[in-house]
Chain A
């Protein structure tokens, strides 16, 4: 089954004059965006945990619960949960509760965290980055099995025949991968689905990751599992409008992030490349975005696509329009192209 979703990092939205809205209003707007995503027939709405003044969605599960109360069909999840700096028991409890509240619509995407603000905030050392994720992923997999859990490790208190509640139906769990082959193999070994975060460069370069994942599943004796794509984008009635609206905010956000993460500072030329057929930005008219999505999904053998909409500085109205066009025009066209 092919499914389509939206992800947001909850970037602070601006009003029509370009003045930033309050964190509280930004969060209330995210709830409205999730409700609209359900109304236009999308399959998934995800919130990526961040802890910065320009991305204040630190407690995504609370916002997801509010959306759950006002929707009926859409699945709700994280995109991603930074498991390395969280307690797997609490993550399980929160999403199990969301699963109960929403009538079985919770999903979790676990990540090591490419934005690392949560490490100093919660007292973790970045030097333990890989070990924390490995150990906590293992515990999370044990918790998902249900029943009393016995577990021992270095990163939290041991559990002995421990009931961890609430018990609910199992919910889909993914591992978000930005470029670490070890994470691909890890997802396969635990039987978690693979979410490829493609935020720059040619999406086709991830094809070997898909092959590695399928091969690893087979090697671990597991049935095939879905591969998803998470990529940034913006939809407007025309290509020109979408590109013009997105550019100044993309330039601003990526220039700032690039200082610490080694991203190239965008230029008009690099932007033209990223929004073109060989780049990772899904910015354009419904037709342009749909054909690029269909092509990328085919290349990577993906059955799920989550568009990460709403870069910081855009207005709530502009985000609502992207959601509406994505749900009513883009996704139906991708389905046609893939059938």
Chain B
């Protein structure tokens, strides 16, 4: 399964590293020319291939959105049709009322199967994953299976929390946001 990580800031390279370590081929895209993130990629996610967002997404089975929320409006929705898309974004600063980023993502990316996850864990707490429980929410059972498998291969314990609308449970202000959780065994 090919993974495309959109975003080469705080979060993107961390997810790219985890995916590479688990054996996935990974493409990473920033905004604009891939040459701009070549140096960053070679030091922070060696092995990932810097590409344009369009090329990275076109070849990917799984796309991770790790861009600032206000940049989401700039991505081309047509690229994502038929893709499994992980929304790891948050409103920032937190929205006055929970709006559910993933519901907005799904509305805009027509034809994509959106799963909300990895947004409620700080990037500095992602490495090592140490079997940390990570919630995922989505409306497509098939996409949830794909993402649960991905999360578990990169080292997390996937915990399904329900539909995409239920993904608000993972957003800022909720008790699990930023909380270290492990599944009780």
Contacts and interface: CB of A to CB of B under 8 A. Distances in A.
A240 interface: no
Contacts of A208: 43-44
Interface in A140-190: 178-182, 184-185
A225 B6 CA distance: 31
Interface string B36-77: 000110011000000000000000000000001010000000
Given A129-B68, A180-B10, A181-B9, A263 B127 contact: no
Contacts of A259: 94, 172-173, 177-178
B124 A201 contact: yes
B164 interface: no
B179 interface: yes
Interface in A287-332: none
Contacts of B180: 264-265, 267, 270
Contacts of A185: 39-40
Contact of A127 (B9, B13, B44, B70): B70
Contacts of B106: none
A263 B122 contact: yes
Interface residues of A, number: 34
Contact of A211 (B43, B121, B123): B43
B33 interface: no
A53 interface: no
Interface in B63-122: 68, 70, 90, 92-94, 120-122
A261 B40 contact: no
A121 B45 CA distance: 37
A6 B17 CA distance: 33
A246 B127 CA distance: 25
A241 to B, nearest CB: 26
A262 B177 contact: yes
Given A202-B127, A260-B94, A264-B178, 11 more contacts: A126-B70, A127-B70, A130-B68, A185-B39, A200-B122, A200-B125, A205-B124, A209-B44, A262-B122, A264-B180, A265-B179
11 contacts: A179-B123, A180-B9, A181-B9, A200-B122, A202-B127, A209-B43, A212-B39, A259-B177, A259-B178, A262-B172, A270-B180
